[in-house]
Amino acid sequence: MPLTPEQLYQEAAGGLAAALALCLLGYLGTKLAAHAWRAVTVGNGYRRWVLRRRRSAGLVLLLGAVSGSVVADAQDLAPLDPAEVRSVALDAGLDSLRNVDIPKPDNLDDFLQPGALARRAAVQLGKALFWDMQVGSDGVACASCHFHAGADSRSKNQLSPGLKHTDPVLRTIFDATASGGGGPNYQLTAADFPFHQLEHPEDRTSTVLHDTNDVVSSQGVFRANFTGLAPGSPTDLGTPAADPVFNVGGVNVRRGQPRNTPSIINAVFNFANLWDGRGHNVFNGV
């Protein structure tokens, strides 16, 4: 018989309780053993050490007996059967997204000819534009950086100084990251995250240890003044311009965008993409 959701919860809770109990018992046993060893090195005499050792050993044996009981109880819990878990999920109305129809804009026919042929051509056009070097304006296709399922996986020169900040003065100022780094052409590390750090991560009202309005984004093009197109060339025509924000020692680097493109995996089921909702589910033909 498939397990009910309540039974699954009880099974999981029992296993978690057993694991936590074992961790606690192991920790106490280690502390007691260390206490007995310290008595050997800093105690005032052989008799005192013997008594402490006996007390510690007795407590360790007691903990061992309790932990053995916990292990036995944990072993009595049958492992969850993936087929049963799936059966319970299906009974609850959950299913794989592979079996869910891809939602389409209600007004798609306002922009395409009716029929499957036009929609297939639109998909092909989108893929072609994704790999088109001219679309990227400076000889770099969108797919050059976003081929990881749509996301940009680079980690250098990916910071943007909050270009959408409500205060115009702060839009061009890079903050220090949690590790003390940051700025144009900076190489991100794990120590830079998260950008909003709390003393107690599970309590949003706890003391803020670090915060920044900078975002990890996706570097785009070098700053330049656009002057025109060159037919047949992957590079637009333009004249380089000094960039007061994205530069290192006066040398321009690629400009970091105010938003980082998320993965396209299952993105069709999202109502809003990007942190400010710019990628919306309302289709306007653009």
Name the residue ranges covered by the structural domains of the chain. 5-91
- 240 φ, ψ to 5°? -60, 145
Beta strands in the chain (DSSP E): 159-160, 197-198, 208-210, 215-216, 224-228, 237-240, 247-248, 251-252, 272-273, 279-280
pLDDT tens-digit map of 11-53: 544 544 444 444 444 444 444 344 433 333 333 333 333 333 3
SS3 call for 132: coil
Residue 31 neighbours by CB distance under 10 Å: 11
- Residue 260, pLDDT above cutoff 50: yes
pLDDT band at 283 (very low <50, low <70, confident <90, very high): low
- Residue 254, pLDDT above cutoff 70: yes
Angle at 125 between CA 123 and CA 131, to 5 degrees: 110
Lowest mean pLDDT among 44-53, 162-171, 177-186, 212-221: 44-53
- Predicted confidence at residue 211, as pLDDT, reads 94
Name the residue among 39, 38, 58, 57 with its Cα closest to residue 47: 39
- Predicted confidence at residue 160, as pLDDT, reads 94
- Predicted confidence at residue 228, as pLDDT, reads 92
- Predicted confidence at residue 45, as pLDDT, reads 37
- Predicted confidence at residue 286, as pLDDT, reads 59
Using a pLDDT cut of 70, give the percent of the chain over it: 71
pLDDT tens-digit map of 134-173: 888 888 898 888 888 888 889 999 999 988 888 888 889 9
pLDDT band at 124 (very low <50, low <70, confident <90, very high): very high
- Residue 64, pLDDT above cutoff 60: no
Q: Which of 6-15, 17-26, 123-132 has the highest mean pLDDT?
A: 123-132
Average pLDDT for 234-250: 94
Lowest mean pLDDT among 81-95, 151-165, 187-201: 81-95
Name the residue among 222, 253, 224 with its Cα closest to residue 239: 224
